[in-house]
Structure 1
Amino acid sequence: MSTRAAARKVGVLLNGDSGKGRGAKIREQVFAGLAADGFETMDLSGPDLVTAIRRARAGLAEGIEALIAVGGDGTVHGGVNVVAGTGVPLGIIASGTGNDLARALDLPRHDVAASLAIVREGLADRQDGKSGVRFVDAVGVSGPGGPVKYWYLAVLSCGLDAAVAGRANQLRWPSGAGRYLRAVGAELGHFQPYGYRVTMDGEVWESDGTLVAVANTGIFGGGMKIAPQAVPDDGMLDVVFAPGLSRHRIAALFPRLYTGSHLKHPEVHVRRARSVRIEAMPELGAPPPMAFADGEPLRDLPVQCDVHPLAVGVLAPRGTT
């Protein structure tokens, strides 16, 4: 009878472009690095995020020790929707465009070797009875009164920025930041303030509005500091909202999102809450856009956001857990 120990098994979730160009090289690095560290790997990716999440959830039944998300915020978002509340830790190898979640959690970006080292050391520490994992809050999203249907770690938004994100997803050119800027111009060209009712731990704000964002971490949209004081493990959400503004005032305010100085604007407000409900109020303004979270489209309003303290474990550098 062989006495060889069984290989430790991890699941790998890659983005949809992982088979092409730079993504193919990253894929090779990740699988080769995990194999060199003695891990058996399960490729749990799919042709789209919904399929990948379904496959990864099935992978949990195979007894994986961790789920490794390789890609941008959308891929990490998929991983969160698999592991939230399960006790299975999430490893992050950030290789996308924005990488806002990795930035918020002080993890490497575009450095596969450093990211693999964190995975290796985190799982080694965990096996030795040490932590190796940083536990952070996750936000459960549902319809009012319904079960949690989606999870996110960073920011949910359903204001002008969400409309811009939806528009950018439909554009085929230009690439990168240029597509986002083109979408900003297109949305501003016909912007009308939206109508909202936002209930934050019982406090109600009803108004026409430009911006409503529910932040668990402080960064979204490729580095915009929407809620710079948000902390991902304090059991609270930072709700950032602004009433209806003119197009000229929006254009002046938008660049300030990259420094966080928009919070000094007298018409931008922040409230802290554990539970947030956002509803459309047609009598107060135009229908708000679909809610986006971690850069991914979720659902139309109404949405209910509830913080679940320390619901996700992220493999983290030694000394930070």
Structure 2
Amino acid sequence: MNEAEKIPREAYLIANPTAGRGHGLARLIDLENAIRERGIETHRVLDPDSRAVIARKLRSESDTRRRVLVVIGGDGTVNALVNDGPTAPICHYASGTENLFSRAFGTPKNPEAMADWILGSRESSMDLGEFRVESTDGSVSQTKRFALMLGFGFDAAVVNRHHAKRVGRSSGTTSRLAYFGPLAHEAWHYDFPAVRMTWTDDSGESRSSEGTTAIVFNFDCYALGLKFAPGASPFDGNLDTVRFERRGSIRAGLYLAMVASGIHVKLKSVGLDRMREIRLEAVEKPVPVQMDGDPAGWLEPGHPWHVRCVPAVCPVLVGP
């Protein structure tokens, strides 16, 4: 393919107008104008139904190499798109609160620079995580995919409380500061029920452990700039897990401080592992779950979640 054939012909702008304290629509318009000035046709996609229609349309086409899907919103909008099974490459123009996906790929915040980034980027394929929820009869009741992470326990409780406060406001928007209230509340009130993790290591040996919080990472990024799983990569065919064994509000605060300083990796009560598949189950009580920074339900006793890495399944744009 020559250089002209690599340049996108169409850009589908997958936008959440309320993301990032309501700035999503303004950022959509600015980027739309910048992309059009570079000779690329644009299409606005502003609701889930339209997004699903576009995903089906592109899946039915044999050649999507000159189309791109640009998410203008937060990490939740990215998650919704990857669950549509995109066949054209995606990228993220940050317009949410944390914007972890955008940060991981280094996409610019300026619309003119972002338009140039899209023109100069190349296509690759990244891994996704996938979870299946098992019913009492052994059948699968739910299957979804995640781009960034899947968290069980304390961190998910914080996400749930933050989400409830966010949707309770008329604007539905948020900022980083809004996390501290839910964090303090859950550190004091959360019960820290146990989560059991079971997996097979590289030698073929079955392993099992328990913790009060377990997070499965596809990327090495997290809210507030925390690095729970250094070295996690969406291009290695694996998932990285971090588990915290001890319970209690004081211990939770100490764990967070140690993650912030990067020394949690040396603690005996913190486990870091890398695997392709893992089974998680609630030992006695239901455990909250978050996916890519949004609530994802509950891990119920007797209903284990099976999590696996789906290698190189999602087309993405990678910067020049």
- Per the TM superposition, whether the score is higher than 0.5 is yes
Q: CA deviation at 1:42?
A: 2.2
Please state whether the residue corresponding to 1:82 is helix, strand or coil: coil
Unaligned runs of 5+ in 2: 1-7
Q: Is the 8 A contact 2:100 2:221 kept in 1?
A: yes
Q: What corresponds to 1:181 in structure 2?
A: 180
Residue identity matched to 1:297 = P
Q: What corresponds to 2:30 in structure 1?
A: 29
Equivalences for residues 1-321 of structure 1 within 5 A: 8-17=9-18, 22-46=23-47, 51=49, 53-60=51-58, 65-84=67-86, 86=87, 88-105=88-105, 107-122=106-121, 132-144=122-134, 146=140, 149-172=143-166, 175-201=174-200, 203-207=206-210, 209-282=211-284, 286-289=285-288, 291-301=289-299, 302-318=304-320
Query: What is the TM-score with the length of structure 2 in the denominator?
Result: 0.82
Q: CA deviation at 1:66?
A: 1.9
Q: What corresponds to 1:129 in structure 2?
A: none
- Percent of pairs identical after alignment? 26
Q: Is the 8 A contact 1:53 1:78 kept in 2?
A: no
Query: What is the TM-score with the length of structure 1 in the denominator?
Result: 0.81
Please state whether the residue corresponding to 1:171 is helix, strand or coil: helix
Deviations 1:34-92 (A, max 9, x none): 2222222222221xxx54653442453585622111122112222222245x3x21122
Aligned length: 292
Mapped partners of 1:83, 1:57: distance in 2: 7
Q: Is the 8 A contact 2:70 2:93 kept in 1?
A: yes
Q: Quick one: structure 1 residues 21 and 272, their matched pair in 2 at CA, closer, same or farther if it must change by over 3 Å? A: closer
Mapped partners of 2:183, 2:21: distance in 1: 29
| RMSD, matched Cα | 2.6
Mapped partners of 2:110, 2:261: distance in 1: 25
Mapped partners of 1:83, 1:116: distance in 2: 24
Mapped partners of 1:147, 1:12: distance in 2: 32
Q: Is the 8 A contact 1:13 1:56 kept in 2?
A: no
Q: Is the 8 A contact 2:21 2:175 kept in 1?
A: no
Q: What corresponds to 1:128 in structure 2?
A: none
Q: CA deviation at 1:200?
A: 1.7
Unaligned runs of 5+ in 1: 1-6, 123-131
Mapped partners of 1:240, 1:19: distance in 2: 29
Please state whether the residue corresponding to 1:193 is helix, strand or coil: coil
Q: Quick one: structure 1 residues 109 and 255, their matched pair in 2 at CA, closer, same or farther if it must change by over 3 Å? A: farther
Q: CA deviation at 1:17?
A: 1.0
Q: CA deviation at 1:32?
A: 1.1
Q: Is the 8 A contact 1:118 1:315 kept in 2?
A: no
Please state whether the residue corresponding to 2:127 is helix, strand or coil: strand
Mapped partners of 2:154, 2:128: distance in 1: 24
Mapped partners of 1:89, 1:303: distance in 2: 29
Mapped partners of 1:53, 1:257: distance in 2: 37
Deviations 1:230-263 (A, max 9, x none): 1221111111112132211211221332343222
Q: Is the 8 A contact 2:194 2:213 kept in 1?
A: no
